[in-house]
Chain A
Amino acid sequence: SQTIHQWPATLVQPVGSPLSLECTVEGTSNPNLYWYRQAAGRGLQLLFYSVGIGQISSEVPQNLSASRPQDRQFILSSKKLLLSDSGFYLCAWSKGQSTDTQYFGPGTRLTVL
């Protein structure tokens, strides 16, 4: 069966510090991968998605970036965090069809102080 991992589970960082959040998927190959941010009362906002190694599509302009160095690894990064980057970050995967379910990881709670 497939599983998706995210770490860390929680993170408190000062403004201006770098960020690296990691997501890995097990039990499947060549998944589509997604990063979402969830802010209170605003639902889920798709930040990035990837259909293959090195292929990243950005949905919103921001100071975050994403990379996919391996087939089942997806990394969310920032060089300098802003207060507005605080939120709950969710990674998800799906197979290659738009009808396929997206499966979500447990999330990372990021607080920028």
Chain B
Amino acid sequence: AQSVTQLDSQVPVFEEAPVELRCNYSSSVSVYLFWYVQYPNQGLQLLLKYLSGSTLVKGINGFEAEFNKSQTSFHLRKPSVHISDTAEYFCAVSLGGSNYKLTFGKGTLLTVNP
């Protein structure tokens, strides 16, 4: 079975600083990878996803992530964060094929301070 580990439960940063949220996965087969964002008391919204092709994926709100198969990682990055980026971020993996299920990490709370 696949699993997802988000290495940091909380990441505090100052506004305009760069940020990296780390995600590692374990799976014996190829996977599809997703990053979702959740603002307080709201549902989740897709930031970006990796299905195949270029390992650098660009998403909404200036975020990007890089798929590294050898390190089984899919870290999320943003070069300059804003106060409005304060939210919880979830990494998720899908096995693909006829398996529709997403396995989520436990989330990383990003807090951007002025």
Show the binding face of A for B, using Cβ within 8 Å.
4, 32, 41-44, 46, 49, 51, 59, 90, 92, 94, 96, 98-99, 101-107, 109
Set of chain B residues within 8 Å of A106, measured between Cβ atoms: 42-43
Count CB-based A-B contacts (< 8 Å): 57
Interface SS of B by simple majority:
strand
Give the shortest distance, in Å, between A16 (CB) and chain B (any CB).
27
Set of chain B residues within 8 Å of A92, measured between Cβ atoms: 43-44
Query: Nearest A residue to B95 by beta-carbon distance?
Result: A98
Given known A-B contacts A41-B106, A99-B32, A99-B51, A49 and B43 have beta carbons under 8 A apart = no
Residue among B44, B96, B104 making CB contact with A99, cutoff 8 Å: B96
Residue among A41, A44, A49 making CB contact with B90, cutoff 8 Å: A44
Query: Nearest A residue to B43 by beta-carbon distance?
Result: A104
Counting CB contacts under 8 A, is B70 at the interface?
no
Roughly how many angstroms separate A92 CA and B101 CA in the complex, as a whole number?
11
Query: Are A42 and B106 neighbours in the complex by a CB distance under 8 Å?
Result: yes
